[in-house]
Amino acid sequence: MTNNPFEGFDSEDKAFIKHDFEELCWYRGKEKLDVNYFYVDPATMLMGWGAYSQGLKQYSWIWQKDLFTPIAKPETLNGYSEYTKAFSVWVLPKYVNDKQNITQSVSLWRRSSVGEFKGFLEMGACLFDKLQEPENKDKLPVVKWTGSETKTMGMGKSTIPHFELAGFRDRPSEFVIPSIGYDTSPSDANESHLPKSSDGDTMTSHPVLDDLDSGDIPF
């Protein structure tokens, strides 16, 4: 008997995660995640600008052609908030302690909040140099979330998640970027894996690192 192709697929399952600035924890959709480590796919890292339309309930994303070529802040679109610095990266969250070793679902961390953007920069900075070393070719960095810090910025407050490099590992079999509902056909010769515009996003997709250690990883 063949499997029913209409069972087991949840069209409401969203791969997006965020760092909650009030609870100082991570959410995937509405689900609170236990997580203290992330496998990171550097080839999916993007930086650019993001804006949100409250009326349309959707984002507009404009990405740099690579991580090294900043673009000017776009003009505000009618019905959208002012553009702020944005980023995007696919990760595989894990939670590890003395008694547990839990692998969460593959997730897309794509945000435009000030604190999370600073956290993303810290994540990238802690892994970038080691990423260039030959022994780490074809491996993925694993970063440890070490906690979060709330800072006063201007008239408000922002919460920054902090990371440190734990080491490098082979890509886990579970770290497969979803193909249903996500664009796996890049718009140019470079590979990217980004949600389609039908998910409520408008975007320009670009790659990041063409050339992209083992440390204190407890798994």
Task: Kindly state the percentage of the chain with pLDDT values over 90.
Answer: 70
Q: What is the mean pLDDT of residues 34-49?
A: 97
Regarding predicted confidence, which is higher, 83 or 210? 83
Confidence label for 13 from pLDDT (cuts 50, 70 and 90):
low
Confidence label for 157 from pLDDT (cuts 50, 70 and 90):
confident
Q: Are 92 and 44 in contact (CB under 8 A)?
A: no
Q: Are 21 and 159 in contact (CB under 8 A)?
A: yes
Query: How confident is the model over 103-130, as pLDDT tens digits?
Result: 999 999 999 999 999 999 999 999 999 9
Q: What is the pLDDT, as a whole number, of residue 155? A: 77
Six token digits for residue 145: 């979330």
CA atoms in the 13 A half-sphere facing the CB of 130 = 20
Which pTM was predicted? 0.80
195 has a pLDDT exceeding 70: no
196 has a pLDDT exceeding 80: no
Q: What is the mean pLDDT of residues 75-88?
A: 96
Q: What is the pLDDT, as a whole number, of residue 179? A: 74
Q: What is the pLDDT, as a whole number, of residue 60? A: 95
Q: What is the pLDDT, as a whole number, of residue 51? A: 97
Mean pLDDT of all residues in the chain?
Answer: 82
Question: Tokens 């959208």 belong to which residue?
Answer: 80
Instruction: Give 137: exposed, middle or buried? Use CB within 10 Å, 0-12, 13-18, 19+.
Output: exposed
Q: What is the mean pLDDT of residues 161-173?
A: 97
CA dist list (Å): 73 to 70, 83, 119, 155, 208: 9, 7, 20, 21, 19
Regarding predicted confidence, which is higher, 209 or 94? 94
Q: What is the mean pLDDT of residues 12-29?
A: 88
Q: What is the pLDDT, as a whole number, of residue 150? A: 93
Q: What is the pLDDT, as a whole number, of residue 154? A: 76
